[in-house]
C-alpha cells in the first residue's frame, strides 16, 4: 500500500448528542479512489459518524482531516464546499421541489452555470428515469427513484468524497443491484466513497476495505476479503444489536 496522504482521516473522534455519546474514539482513513465500507448493527453510531464528518454533528474530541487540512468544527455548508457530500439516511430529498430543482440545489456550491446544466443532463443519462420525471415533484417519485435522485443530487456538487448512508434502505433487490453497479464506478469519476450499509455482502462486493462499528466504537477493520471471512463479523452484529450508547455521565472515561 502506498504511503500517500489519505483523503479523509479521523483521529480519536468522539461525538454525540448532548449527554449521549454515539461515536467514541473513532480513527479511520479513506484513501483517494477507494470505496470503504462502514458496517455495524442498528444504533452502532454509523450515521452519527458520517454526520460528524459532514459537520451536522459537532465532535467533542479528536481531529477530522480532509486531504491534510482540518475540517472538524466547520459548518456543514463549508464542508460541502471542500468536496464532501453526504447522502443522508432516508435520502432527504426535497419532496416539494421538482426533480430538476433538487439537482440544481445539489449544485448550490458551484458557480459554473453552463457546466451545471451539462452535469444535470449527464445525471439524466446516468439515471434515465430522472430525465423522464424532471418536471415532477420529487415527493411523487418511488423510493428507488428517490434514492437515485439523492445520489444524483450529491454528485451534482462534484464531490471528492461521498458519504453514503444506507443507499439500499427499503429498496427492491433489482434496484439495489442497479444502484450498487453505479456506486462501483464512482472512483472512475474521481469520487471516493465511504459507504454505510446494512447489507454486508453487497457492501463488501464493491468495497476494497471496511470497518466494523459496534457500541459506538470501531472494533474491526480490514480488506473486504478479510472482513468477509472474519468469523466474528456475525458476532459483532448479533452480539451488539441490543447495545445502546451509555450516557456520558456514567459511561465516560
Ligand X SMILES: Nc1ncnc2c1ncn2[C@@H]1O[C@H](COP(=O)(O)OP(=O)(O)OP(=O)(O)O)[C@@H](O)[C@H]1O
Q: What residues line the site for Mg ion (CB under 5 A)?
A: 47, 89
What is the CA angle 234-239-243, rounded to 5? 135
Where do the DSSP E strands lie in 153-242? 161-165, 192-197, 209-214, 217-223
Under the binding rule (CB under 8 A), the answer on residue 94 touching another protein is yes
Give the residue, chosen from 75, 90, 244, 252, that forms a contact with ligand X under the rule CB under 6 A: 244
Give the residue, chosen from 9, 46, 133, 153, that forms a contact with another protein under the rule CB under 8 A: 153
**Residue 94's binding partner, choosing from another protein, Mg ion, ligand X, none, with beta-carbon cut-off 5 to 8 A by kind?**
another protein
Alpha-carbon gap, residue 90 to 191, rounded angstroms: 21
Give the residue, chosen from 68, 96, 135, 188, that forms a contact with another protein under the rule CB under 8 A: 96
**Stretch of residues binding ligand X (CB under 6 A), selected from 17-25, 68-76, 148-156, 187-195:** 17-25
Least distance CB 216 / ligand X (angstroms)? 7
Q: Exposed, middle or buried: residue 253 (CB in 10 Å: 0-12, 13-18, 19+)?
A: exposed
**Residue 42's binding partner, choosing from another protein, Mg ion, ligand X, none, with beta-carbon cut-off 5 to 8 A by kind?**
ligand X
φ/ψ of residue 219, rounded to 5: -110, -15
- By beta carbon distance, the residue nearest ligand X is 47
Give the residue, chosen from 104, 134, 160, 228, that forms a contact with another protein under the rule CB under 8 A: 104
Are 89 and 166 in contact by the 8 Å Cβ rule? The answer is yes
Least distance CB 146 / another protein (angstroms)? 12
167 or 210, CB closer to another protein? 167
Least distance CB 66 / another protein (angstroms)? 15
Closest CA relative to residue 187, chosen from 33, 4, 8: 33
Strands of the 59-66 sheet, one edge to the other: 20-30, 8-17, 59-66, 69-70
Number of CB atoms found within 10 A of residue 222's CB: 15
Are 47 and 11 in contact by the 8 Å Cβ rule? The answer is no
- 3-state helix, strand and coil shares in percent for the chain, rounded to the nearest 5: 40, 25, 35
Give the residue, chosen from 11, 25, 65, 89, that forms a contact with ligand X under the rule CB under 6 A: 89
Least distance CB 2 / another protein (angstroms)? 31
**Residue 134's binding partner, choosing from Mg ion, ligand X, another protein, none, with beta-carbon cut-off 5 to 8 A by kind?**
none
* Residues of this chain that bind ligand X (CB under 6 A): 17, 20, 22, 40, 42-48, 89, 244-245
Amino acid at each position: 500500500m502506498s504511503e500517500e496522504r489519505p483523503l479523509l482521516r479521523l483521529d480519536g473522534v468522539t461525538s454525540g448528542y448532548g449527554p449521549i455519546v454515539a461515536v467514541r474514539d473513532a480513527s479511520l482513513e479513506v484513501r483517494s479512489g477507494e470505496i470503504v465500507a462502514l458496517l455495524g448493527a442498528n444504533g452502532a453510531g454509523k450515521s452519527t459518524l458520517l454526520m460528524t464528518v459532514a459537520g451536522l454533528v459537532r465532535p467533542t474530541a479528536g481531529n477530522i482531516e480532509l486531504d491534510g487540512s482540518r475540517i472538524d468544527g466547520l459548518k456543514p455548508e463549508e464542508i460541502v464546499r471542500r468536496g464532501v457530500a453526504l447522502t443522508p439516511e432516508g435520502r432527504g430529498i426535497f419532496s416539494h421541489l421538482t426533480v430538476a430543482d433538487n439537482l440544481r440545489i445539489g449544485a448550490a456550491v458551484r458557480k459554473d452555470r453552463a457546466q451545471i446544466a451539462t452535469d444535470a443532463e449527464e445525471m439524466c443519462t446516468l439515471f434515465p428515469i430522472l430525465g423522464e420525471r424532471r418536471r415532477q415533484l420529487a415527493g411523487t417519485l418511488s423510493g428507488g427513484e428517490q434514492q437515485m435522485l439523492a445520489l444524483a443530487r450529491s454528485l451534482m456538487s462534484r464531490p471528492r468524497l461521498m458519504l453514503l448512508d444506507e443507499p439500499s434502505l427499503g429498496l427492491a433487490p433489482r434496484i439495489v443491484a442497479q444502484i450498487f453497479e453505479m456506486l462501483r464506478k464512482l472512483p472512475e469519476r474521481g469520487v471516493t466513497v465511504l459507504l454505510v450499509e446494512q447489507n454486508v455482502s453487497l457492501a463488501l462486493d464493491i468495497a476494497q476495505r471496511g470497518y466494523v462499528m459496534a457500541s459506538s466504537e470501531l472494533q474491526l477493520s480490514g480488506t473486504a476479503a478479510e472482513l468477509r471471512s472474519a468469523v466474528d463479523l456475525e458476532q459483532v452484529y448479533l452480539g451488539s444489536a441490543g447495545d445502546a450508547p451509555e450516557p456520558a455521565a456514567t459511561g465516560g472515561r
